[in-house]
């Protein structure tokens, strides 16, 4: 075992410096500084180089974490970057926004033995940021061009990772997105205090440099700019990577009052303002939490993004209302901790009963909850305690209750496109192909609302299968070149 490693006994765990809560709520900048080279080296050297690295097992991309930690500890950063980029299309993004505590770091062996996990995410970010600064990150240029083309519907992480992998193989790649900016939820969902938007722009520029054609403001569907059938005629294969966008709603008295907003509308407006756009609904105050009492319903990662955005917009008070307790919160523990530091108040074991107000909401009436017996999934069932109602003052209510897929077969006028009972697109687990020949699917639209790292994994897996499909259909003259490209 090299001497550079196994330092977890003598070196304590350190994260990069976190800006003080008071300072970070005054802007939308990322909350963590970056590791400097010395700290990155030292923190990497804490890894015990496990024979069975559970960090890697629990990373959806199976990143070769122990090896790139060792290379970082030895200051062999270019090799560390090559290794890290070999399995992850966007390591600097995952390093920042993966819920590490549930994935790689949460399963680190030295964490399990009480020494504190290796700070894997921060090292991953450090490696790739160093690679960008040193000019080691290159556009995914192909070694040779192939004639066949693919159309990718959706420019989120699933579509982008597939595009990158297919372009490297030489295919002509076109991404179609209904938004004016490519990036999906990386741009319009996730706030910039978690992921600075310049990082997404930097990646998109590399994809464009590689010859990937981006069709912005292009909605695919019967009511859109290009029909699905037309897209199938244009390309040899299609990838559906449209994400899930139908916000779950709540049916309660008063839900139609003004200033009760879906979470994503609120976050998109905030992200657009941060990007310099003029957003009428923000300027007229509707989507701005400044000086308001804000109540956010839900407790997942989207809810945490809403409460923390409201805190930064200068809300008078921010309350997160959740019907279970802290132990049962679905989101990342880390995000909850940051929200608490930033002054967000959590009202647990409380369920909304009605929205009160005269045209505009002024309060949420909620009832206290008792967690009853566990249901079939093992989670305790929330039961309302009679006569326990109370009001929470609210000038703005944000509903962060999760997302379902849109009706894709109807949107694409493709009744043959089979969906599951949850409305997600059915894709063969092995071939990633849907019920329609040459049409593949990846990301949240297959999996349901999930994580960026899973979208990347799905995009890469779909790209592998699309390449196989295209190779099998390639004209004989190109077959050899194509076979090499796929290998
Ligand atoms: P998306 O990112 O949703 O991209 C789909 C794209 O398809 C969009 O750009 C959309 O405009 C486009 N599109 C849809 N329909 C059409 C059409 N008909 N025509 C043309 N274009 C279309 N995950 C994490 O790992 N960490 C986090 O911190 C995190 N925070 C999140 C915060 C919020 C508020 C939300 C909502 C999600 C968060 N997630 C997070 C989840 C993560 O963003 C998603 O799992 C991931 O983006 C899914 O990738 P995707 O490519 O499948 O879809
Ligand atoms: Fe951890 Fe995510 Fe990086 Fe995998 S991609 S090593 S889970 S931070
Ligand atoms: Fe290193 Fe932890 Fe992974 Fe083991 S589980 S290889 S100690 S990072």
Substitution candidate for ligand 3 out of 46, 54, 98 with most atoms within 8 A of CB = 54
pLDDT at 393 over 90: yes
Q: Is the CB of 450 under 6 A from ligand 1?
A: yes
Smallest-distance ligand from the CA of 271: 1
Average pLDDT estimate for 10-24:
93
More confident: 484 or 419: 419
Q: Give 164-178 pLDDT, tens digit per residue.
A: 999 999 999 999 999
Query: pLDDT-based confidence at 483, cuts 50/70/90?
Result: low
Residue scoring higher pLDDT (333 or 186): 186
In the predicted model, is pLDDT for residue 3 greater than 80? no
Q: Which of 6, 52, 55 to mutate to test the pocket of ligand 3 (most atoms within 8 A of CB)?
A: 55
pLDDT at 18 over 80: yes
Q: Which residue has the higher pLDDT, 5 or 2?
A: 5
Identify the three-state secondary structure at position 350.
strand
Q: Average pLDDT of 357-362? A: 96
- In angstroms, the Cα distances linking 234 to 156, 172, 173, 231, 307 are 21, 11, 11, 5, 43
| Per-residue pLDDT, 111 | 86
pLDDT at 486 over 70: no
Question: First vs last Cα of the chain: how many Å apart?
Answer: 34
Using a 6 Å cutoff on CB, does residue 178 contact ligand 1? Answer: yes
pLDDT at 1: 46
Report the residue among 95, 183, 193, 243 best suited for mutation to probe ligand 1: largest number of ligand atoms under 8 A from its CB. 243
Per-residue pLDDT at 478 exceeds 60: no
Half-sphere exposure of 180 (CA within 13 A, CB side): 5
Helix (H) or strand (E) holding 259: none
Q: Decide whether any atom of ligand 3 lies within 6 Å of the 54 Cβ.
A: yes
Q: Whose CA is nearest to atom 52 of ligand 1?
A: 443
Q: What is the pLDDT of residues 418-430, one digit of tens each?
A: 999 999 999 999 9
Arithmetic mean of pLDDT, 187-200? 97
pLDDT for res 371 = 87
pLDDT at 378: 77
What radius of gyration, in Å, describes the C-alpha atoms of the chain?
24
Looking at residue 420, its pLDDT comes to 97
Q: Is the CB of 59 under 6 A from ligand 3?
A: no
Bridge partners of residue 153, in order along the sequence:
176, 240
Cα-based distances in Å from 384 to 330, 347, 353, 371: 20, 15, 10, 9
**What pLDDT is attached to residue 179?**
97
- On the CB side of 161, CA atoms within 13 Å amount to 29
What per-residue confidence (pLDDT) applies to 487? 52
Query: Which ligand lies nearest to the CA atom of residue 125 in the structure?
Result: 2
Ligand nearest to the CA of 107: 3
Question: How do residues 49-68 score in pLDDT, each as one tens digit?
Answer: 999 999 999 999 999 999 99
118 lines ligand 3 (CB under 6 A): yes
Give residue-wise pLDDT tens across range 367-392.
Answer: 999 988 888 777 788 888 989 999 99
- Percentage of the chain exceeding pLDDT 90: 88
DSSP summary character for residue 398: E
**From residue 163, how far is each of 139, 169, 212 by CA, in Å?**
12, 10, 7
- Cβ of 129 less than 6 Å from ligand 2: no
Tokens of 405: 């897929």
Q: What are the beta bridge partners of residue 246?
A: 404
- Assess whether the C-beta atom of 424 lies below 6 angstroms from ligand 1: no
- Ligand 2 atom closest to the Cα of residue 98 is 2
The answer on pLDDT for 479 being more than 60 is: no
Read off the pLDDT of each residue in 126-148 and give the average, rounded to a whole number.
Answer: 98
218: which 2 tokens? Answer: 């292009």
Q: How far is the CA of 484 from the centre of ligand 1 (A)?
A: 33
Q: Is 265 in the pocket of ligand 1 (CB under 6 A)?
A: no
What is the structure's pLDDT at 39? 95
Choice from 189, 401, 459 to test ligand 1 binding pocket (greatest atom count within 8 A of CB) = 189
Q: What is the pLDDT of residues 304-317, one digit of tens each?
A: 999 999 999 999 99
Residue 203's alpha-carbon distances to 138, 164, 171, 211, in angstroms, are: 10, 10, 19, 13
Ligand that comes closest to the CA of residue 1: 3
Q: Which of 89-93, 147-151, 265-269, 324-328 has the lowest mean pLDDT?
A: 324-328
Indicate whether residue 66 lines ligand 3 (CB < 6 A): yes
Give the closest ligand to the alpha carbon of residue 90: 2
* Per-chain mean pLDDT for the chain: 94
């Amino acid at each position: 075992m090299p001497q550079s490693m196994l330092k977890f006994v003598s070196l304590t765990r350190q994260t990069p410096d976190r800006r003080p809560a008071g300072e970070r709520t005054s802007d939308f900048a990322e909350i963590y500084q970056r590791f400097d080279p010395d700290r990155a080296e030292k923190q990497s050297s804490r890894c015990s180089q496990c024979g069975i690295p559970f960090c890697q097992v629990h990373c959806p991309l199976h990143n070769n974490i122990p090896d790139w930690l060792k290379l970082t500890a030895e200051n062999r950063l270019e090799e560390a970057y090559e290794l890290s980029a070999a399995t992850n299309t966007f390591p600097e993004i995952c390093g920042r926004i993966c819920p590490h505590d549930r994935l790689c770091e949460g399963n680190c062996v030295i964490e399990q033995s009480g020494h504190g996990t290796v700070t894997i995410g921060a090292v991953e970010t450090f490696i790739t940021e160093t690679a960008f600064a040193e000019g080691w990150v290159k556009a995914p240029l192909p070694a040779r061009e192939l004639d066949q083309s693919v159309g990718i519907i959706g420019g989120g992480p699933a579509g982008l990772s597939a595009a990158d992998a297919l372009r490297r193989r030489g295919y002509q790649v076109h991404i179609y997105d209904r938004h004016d900016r490519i990036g999906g939820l990386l741009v319009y969902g996730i706030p910039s205090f978690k992921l600075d938007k310049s990082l997404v722009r930097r990646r998109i520029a590399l994809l464009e440099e590689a010859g990937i054609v981006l069709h912005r403001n292009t909605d695919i569907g019967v009511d859109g700019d290009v029909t699905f059938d037309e897209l199938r005629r244009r390309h040899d294969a299609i990838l559906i990577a449209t994400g899930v966008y139908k916000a779950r709603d709540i049916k309660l008295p008063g839900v139609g009052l003004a200033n009760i907003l879906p979470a994503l509308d609120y976050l998109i407006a905030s992200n657009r303002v941060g990007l310099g756009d003029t957003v009428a609904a923000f300027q007229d105050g509707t989507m701005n939490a400044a000086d308001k009492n804000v109540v956010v319903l839900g407790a997942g990662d989207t809810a945490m993004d809403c409460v923390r955005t409201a805190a930064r917009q200068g809300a008078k008070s921010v309350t997160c209302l959740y019907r279970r307790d802290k132990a049962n919160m679905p989101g990342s523990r880390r995000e909850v901790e940051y929200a608490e530091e930033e002054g967000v108040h959590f009202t647990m074991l409380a369920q909304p009963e009605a929205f009160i107000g005269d045209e505009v909401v002024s309060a949420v009436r909620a009832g206290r909850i008792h967690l009853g017996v566990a249901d079939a999934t093992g989670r305790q069932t929330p039961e309302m305690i009679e006569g326990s109602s109370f009001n929470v003052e609210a000038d703005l209510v944000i509903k962060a209750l999760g997302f379902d897929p849109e009706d894709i077969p109807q949107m694409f006028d493709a009744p043959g496109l089979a969906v599951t009972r949850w409305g997600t697109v059915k894709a063969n687990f092995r071939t990633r192909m849907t019920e329609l020949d040459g049409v593949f699917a990846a990301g949240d639209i297959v999996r349901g609302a999930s994580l960026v790292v899973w979208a990347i994994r799905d995009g890469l897996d779909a790209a592998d299968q699309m390449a196989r499909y295209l190779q099998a259909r390639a004209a004989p003259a190109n077959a050899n070149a194509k076979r090499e490209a796929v290998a």
